[in-house]
Amino acid sequence: MAVLFFIWGFINYDSLESQINEQVKAYGLISLFILSFLLDIVPQYLSPHIGLFSGALFGFNPVHSLLIIIIGSTLGSVLGFEIGRLFVARANRDTFGYDAFKIKEIMDRKGKWFVAIAAVSPLPYIPLILGMLNMGRKNFPMFGIIPRIIGHIITAFFAYEVFVLLL
């Protein structure tokens, strides 16, 4: 199911981007919260970073936009991680057997750095899958949430600087 959402988002990227801009323009900051929450909970290609560019495009206060996106993204990430950990991992273990998902040590040892890179960048960052792969609850904030917040801060600075230069 996660793979289907991801493929659908990739195929419909341009359409989704224009719909996001329309929603942000119409509903303002509340749409940034909902957008960032949903984009980090539902596996797909888009990132809440796009909301920062939309906010800059429509002249929203950069600090307000950033704080709302950080809160929405963090809540969506944590909920997605827990759903993956509690429900999806269990369903996969029941379907494929425990041995197919004995990758907690690998995930905690090496995979966490890939998670951090994806979290900082606008690359696909899918907390649901991180939970499903049994990333440790202690590692998730350090390599998922904190880098995600740093990525939002960097993107907000870049987005608002670009629009200041263009205007």
| Residue 133, pLDDT score | 77
Domain that holds residue 141: 2-166
The whole-angstrom separation of Cα 65 and Cα 57 is 11
Instruction: Give the tens place of pLDDT for each residue, 54-111.
Output: 888 888 888 999 999 999 999 999 999 998 888 876 766 666 565 545 555 666 666 7
pLDDT band (50, 70, 90) for residue 146: very high
The whole-angstrom separation of Cα 48 and Cα 80 is 14
Question: What distance, in Å, lies between the first and last C-alpha atoms of the chain?
Answer: 42
Helix or strand run (H / E) with residue 81: helix 62-83
| Residue 78, pLDDT score | 95
Average pLDDT of the chain to the nearest whole number: 79
Domain count, the chain: 1
Task: Report residue 64 as tokens.
Answer: 């307000």
The whole-angstrom separation of Cα 59 and Cα 99 is 52
